[in-house]
Amino acid sequence: MGRSTDIQTCPLSTIVSNDGASAWIVRRQSEQAGAAPSLAEILEMLEASKIRISPAVYGRVEQYVQLWDTESGDGVPSRYLVAEGTPPIEPEDDELELDEQFQEASSVPASEGVVDHFARSMIKTVSAGTAIGRIKRGRTGSSGRDVFGREIPARRKTRAQVCLGHGLLESENGALLAQVDGRLVIDGLRLKVEPRLEIRGDVDFDSGSLDVCVDVEVRGTVKSNF
């Protein structure tokens, strides 16, 4: 528990949590039921504690005073939550929801569950108009405030966002569409469509077989059976 403040003329004190997120009005144990503290006395006590008097705090103080009026002090809680800070909102990153055919390199299994590695393709190509998937948009973060009105910064200021490069468009309904024929390149949250497929090495098990709808330039050689 954090610091406390009281005023001798008022049978109450305030306690603020260590993180400044909450503040309570507390009846001092030595005080018995008696004259109700006034609204002005309680506000003075809160101001002495440097607690920001927002409309919400003012309203809670009014409710607390009414408890004294209706319960004559006997039913007033020993601790009353009078102020709460606003926690920061942490940013949420965008998420890329790809259609299943683009989540992993496609493969063509042979009979009895044996994979034909010569038929596997590690290259993803698309035709214009193909739906790739969709983007689940995150949110930006924002700072909060403690009961003193001080800023509580979010742990991160920005969110990671999907970045669409050449040949891709996000439609009004959120679908990702290819605008041109080409190779789909995905690097984390960055996507683009390259209109030409360049194989800088050989066509082998690393690249997989090529069954594509674009022009291909192979810098190396095409291995047997590919």
pLDDT digits (tens, 9 = 90+) for 176-225: 999 988 888 888 899 998 876 666 555 554 554 555 555 555 555 654 54
Mutual angle of helices 39-48 and 55-71, in 10-degree steps: 130
Query: Model confidence over 30-85: pLDDT tens digits?
Result: 555 556 788 999 999 999 999 999 999 999 999 999 988 776 666 788 899 999 99
Give the integer Cα–Cα distance in Å for 131 and 125: 12
Q: So what's the pLDDT on residue 202?
A: 54
Positive or negative: CA dihedral 64, 66, 69, 74: negative
Q: So what's the pLDDT on residue 70?
A: 79
Phi, psi of 66, deg, nearest 5: -65, -35
β-bridge partners, 60: none
Q: Are 157 and 202 members of one domain?
A: yes
Q: Are 46 and 104 members of one domain?
A: no
Q: Which domain holds residue 163?
A: 95-218
Instruction: Tell me, yes or no, whether 224 lies in a domain.
Output: no
Q: Are 102 and 151 members of one domain?
A: yes
| Total-model pTM | 0.60
Question: What does the mean pLDDT of the chain come to?
Answer: 78
Other C-beta atoms lying within 10 Å of the C-beta of residue 112: 5
For residue 148, CA distances in Å to 24, 41, 43, 156 come to 13, 19, 14, 22
Q: Are 80 and 126 members of one domain?
A: no
β-bridge partners, 89: 142
β-bridge partners, 45: none
Instruction: Tell me, yes or no, whether 223 lies in a domain.
Output: no
Boundary of a domain, candidates 62, 84, 106: 84
Give how many domains the chain has, as a whole number. Answer: 2
Boundary of a domain, candidates 60, 84, 108: 84
> Which stretches of 72-158 are assigned E, i.e. beta strand?
79-84, 95-98, 125-126, 131-136, 144-145, 151-152
Boundary of a domain, candidates 25, 58, 84: 84
**Running DSSP on this structure, what letter comes out for residue 211?**
-
Instruction: Tell me, yes or no, whether 134 lies in a domain.
Output: yes
Q: Are 136 and 157 members of one domain?
A: yes
